[in-house]
Structure 1
């Protein structure tokens, strides 16, 4: 029987290195998407706050909380929105820090495994028979 491949950095196969690299990139994309989502939430909060400031405080309004539509008054909702509007930039800064750390982790992983990401572009005039889907592709090269 053959032994399973060791788990140390030196004993990883190119497929394992590539899978780990892709996982790190996926985590980075998730962080970037979440950061973008929080930015849109902040803008929406600001728009709603400005709208509600011009409305009578006793007027009823509705707010979605955890997928449930809740009926409240403007006077009850406005302080909650203002609090959220203060909290969102802090959460965004924390995500930006995590995103920067993830980028540093990816760069370190690329260096430690001697990974080169190459972009292959179709040269002008050459290979005209290839379709556009294969004209540009990324190639991951890991040196063993």
Structure 2
């Protein structure tokens, strides 16, 4: 007696896989935003230190932490390095803004492709659960 196995044919990702993919995209966007905030704080610190050091005698000693090590230098040696770092931070911030925008577009495209809707946002009067026939091809995120 031979057993016949029925193969389940999938027409694409399951709703769980779609939701997981969407959540991964959102997590990536949050990580980029978090990194952006961190870099912006660093940039503000650079601005404050640069403004302070501009009014100080250039031969005065100052201290800087590099890789966890406190180093002693003169203001005239540190100030140009800080200005260069500030410019690089500004460039990095611009790149992160671009990446966040692209990730947002990727999320929107993913939502449209998989017809993802948020409960209460797109049709506030619809509080009833979606039946399995209505959910085919749609994903509801609450």
Larger Rg: 2
CA pair 106-45 structure 1, distance change in 2 beyond 3 A: same
Gap change, CA 1:5 and 1:102, over 3 Å in 2: farther
When residues 14 and 77 of structure 1 are mapped into structure 2, their CA distance, relative to the original with a 3 A threshold, is: same
Matches within 5 A, 1:1-144: 10-119=11-120, 143=138
SS at match of 1:46: helix
State the secondary structure of the residue aligned to 2:118.
Answer: strand
1:39-95, Cα deviation, whole Å (9 max, x unpaired): 111111111001111112222211122222222211111000011111221111111
Distance across 2 between alignment mates of 1:5 and 1:61: 69
Query: What's the offset of the Cα at 1:33?
Result: 1.2
Over aligned residue pairs, what C-alpha RMSD do you find? 2.3
SS in structure 2 of the partner of residue 103 of structure 1: helix
Which runs of 5 or more residues in structure 2 are unaligned?
122-134
- With normalisation by structure 2, the TM-score equals 0.75
Aligned partners of 1:37 and 1:85: how far apart in 2?
14
Would you identify which runs of 4 or more consecutive aligned residues in structure 1 move more than 4 Å?
1-6
Aligned residues: 121
SS at match of 2:119: strand
Aligned in 2, Cα 1:56/1:4: closer, same or farther, shift over 3 Å?
farther
Aligned residue number for residue 125 of structure 2 = none
- TM-score (structure 1 length as normaliser): 0.74
Which has the higher mean CA deviation after the structures are superposed, 90-99 or 62-71? 62-71
Gapped runs of 5+ residues in structure 1? 121-140
